[in-house]
Homo-oligomer: A and B are copies of this chain.
Amino acid sequence: MRQPVITLTTDFGLSDHYVGVMKGVILSIVPHARIVDITHELPAYEPLEAAYTIEQAYRWFPKKTVHVAVVDPGVGSTRRPILMEAAGQYFVGPDNGIFTLVAERETHKVREITTEKFFLKPVSRTFHGRDVFAPVAAHLAKGITPARFGKPVDNYLRLGMTKPQRTARRAWTGMILRVDRFGNLVTNFHVDDFGKQIQQKFDMAVGMTTVGKLATSYAECAPGEVFVIVGSGGYLEISANKASAAKLLGCAAGAPAELTIY
């Protein structure tokens, strides 16, 4: 029997029952589902970090995987639930831009989820993860076709400013997308767009610091040295060997990063 995969990405944390409840709802509908936690520690109210996390995760999962993302400060308001099809996989969550970075990379189709018979009733005003997104994901995993959940829309929300802006002939302003557990500063400069530039002499300015060294592995640098490296997800990262670049540079997600080529 095929065991469909459902991933969960939320800001619910791990101290409460919320994530467990979503899994109970899913297993009640599709008992043979495989449920994988991507993370539940995303910052609340911050769709860009969620968008980055989902974009980093989805490509490593099998076709037909259903990715559920719930960072949803607008729960209970008029924001819509959506279902996106992209890369042979499904993405279910609120219409707040959370799938923007996947949509920028993949051909995609977005539907507004309107078929209420797939929801748990009564739908609460505060926990759509349980009442809307988990049951929709479970029914998708069970084989219900996307078209049965609602009609395509093209006015779904996309986050702006996800890519670096060119500010001069040889200069771009980007940002720190995310600081990871090791203190690596993940920028929004992607190797597909900037791989050639950083083979030349360059400066990456973040906070009060300017980094000009490109490394190919952590281990080739001295402990505590700060350098730029092509991260495992394709973005340029500012890192330090056996130390937190975030602490050394005093930077957090959202901070600007400026690239200059010489």
Contacts and interface: CB of A to CB of B under 8 A. Distances in A.
Interface of A: 2-3, 5, 7, 9, 12-21, 23-25, 27-28, 31-32, 34-42, 44-45, 53, 56-57, 60-62, 65, 73-77, 124-127, 130-131, 178, 180-182, 216-220, 229, 231-232, 242
A27 B16 contact: no
Given A53-B17, A57-B17, A216 B125 contact: yes
The 5 closest A-B pairs by CB, nearest first: A76-B217, A77-B219, A127-B232, A13-B181, A24-B60
A43 B131 CA distance: 28
B232 A126 contact: yes
Most buried by B among A15, A20, A77, A127: A20
B61 A28 contact: yes
A219 B74 contact: yes
A229 B62 contact: no
A193 B118 CA distance: 29
Nearest to A128: B232
Contacts of A56: 17, 21
A15 to B, nearest CB: 4
Contacts of A32: 3
Contacts of A77: 217-220
Contacts of A13: 181
Nearest to A55: B17
Contact of A14 (B2, B23, B39, B219): B39
B216 A182 contact: no
18 contacts: A3-B31, A5-B24, A13-B181, A15-B39, A15-B181, A16-B53, A21-B56, A21-B60, A23-B36, A28-B60, A35-B36, A60-B130, A75-B217, A76-B216, A76-B217, A76-B218, A77-B219, A126-B232
A126 B231 contact: yes
Contacts of A124: 232
Given A126-B232, A130-B232, A16 B39 contact: yes
Contacts of A125: 216-218, 229
A71 B56 CA distance: 21
Given A45-B242, A217-B125, A181 B24 contact: no
A32 B126 CA distance: 34
B216 A27 contact: no
A21 B18 CA distance: 22
B38 A218 contact: no
